[in-house]
Structures are given as C-alpha cells and as structure tokens.
Structure 1
Amino acid sequence: MKDPIATMKSFNRQFQLGKPEIEAVEWAWPQEQGETMFHIINVYTKAAQFPRLTAESGYRLQRVGGMILGMVN
C-alpha cells in the first residue's frame, strides 16, 4: 500500500466518522502503523480503545474495522 494515511482518511470520510473518532484513529496509528490493509484494520480496532471515546464511538470504530476486513479480498 502506497499511502496508508490517505487510505484511512478516505475510510474516515466513507464511514462518516466524527471528530472524536478521527482523533482516536490518529492516536492509534503510531501504535499499529504498517503498510497492509491488516495494519489499517488494526488501527481502527485499536482506536476503539481511545480513553476519551464514548462507548458508542468505540463500538462504531470496531464495526468500521470489521467492515474494512469484509472488503479485503
């Protein structure tokens, strides 16, 4: 994958994430970064653990990770 950050920004728009969820994704990136779709999936599931998120936002990020996994062939 050439540009994982651009890919995540695209997913953030596609799944209409709010500012707190995007902040959580940015927090998770340094911990899970890499060059495959599986790294990106891990970023979204890690982002669900961001301390300042509501339970609803955490659940949403977990679901986004699952939906991205479902798109991987």
Structure 2
Amino acid sequence: MGRRAFAPLSFGSGPHVCIGAALTMMEAEIVFDKLMRRWPALALSEPRPRWNRNPVYRGLATLQLHVPASA
C-alpha cells in the first residue's frame, strides 16, 4: 500500500495534524530551491539515502551529497 503524493506522514492528519506543517513545507521549498539555484549539479553521493529505523520519527539517517568542485 502506498501513500498519496504530497501527504507526509510526519505531520499527522485530521485533528492531530501538526500546527507548523504548512510553515515547515514552505521553508523546505525555499531551502531546496536556493540549494538547487546555488549548485545546479548537486547530486546524491550514494545511490540510496539511508533512513533511520525509528518507526516513530521517520527521516533520513544521513544524506550525503556531492557538491561540484566549481562551486
């Protein structure tokens, strides 16, 4: 079973939705936009990012990126 696009599990749902979810999503959009404008060739260093194994706090354990030498 999959999940709908743009429906992060990390912010809950219904009456338990995180009050800061919208702000966090806007901040993330701004940060990733600025990163990609600054380093358009930014790429993952590993084929698959490593996720933590905690079922309560879903997220990346590490995210290694390759920044081009010309940056």
> Does TM-score exceed 0.5, indicating one fold?
no
Higher Cα Rg, which structure: 2
Q: TM-score, normalised by structure 2?
A: 0.30
> Which protein has greater RCO, CA pairs closer than 8 Å, 6+ apart?
1
